[in-house]
Amino acid sequence: MTKENEKVAGKTTAIIAYLTIVGALIAISMNTEPKHQFARFHNRQAFGLHLLFIAFGILSNNWGNIYSFFGLFLCYSILWVYGFSGVLSNKKQSVPILGDYFQKWFTFIS
């Protein structure tokens, strides 16, 4: 078995976190006991991405410009794919630009 295919503790929880904001909340509760570092890292990344998407929706609604929403959605989608591919490849890779901030801001996620 190669290193990439090894079972990582908390991988299932991390995958669930990226599904939706509800999935992120479920993953946070799933990681209360036992606590896995891998799942904690990706729970924070996914929670931040989902909040970012909600903020994008609110901002684009207030701007009233549908084209701005497409640009913001494209940005969110790229970051989401980057984070989700990190889970699938068993890596703790932060999403570009905001990933380190997500780790600092969401310290309440354990």
Count Cβ atoms within 10 A of the Cβ of residue 45 and give its class: 0-12 exposed, 13-18 middle, 19 or more buried: buried
Q: Which residue has the higher pLDDT, 5 or 14?
A: 14
Q: What pLDDT digit, counting tens, does each position of 10-59 carry?
A: 899 999 999 999 999 999 898 888 888 999 999 999 999 999 889 888 87
User: Would the pLDDT of 2 be above 60?
Assistant: no
Q: How is the chain split into domains, by residue range?
A: 11-105
List Cβ neighbours of 15 (8 Å cut-off, separation of 6 or more): 84, 87, 88
CA distance 19 to 46: 8
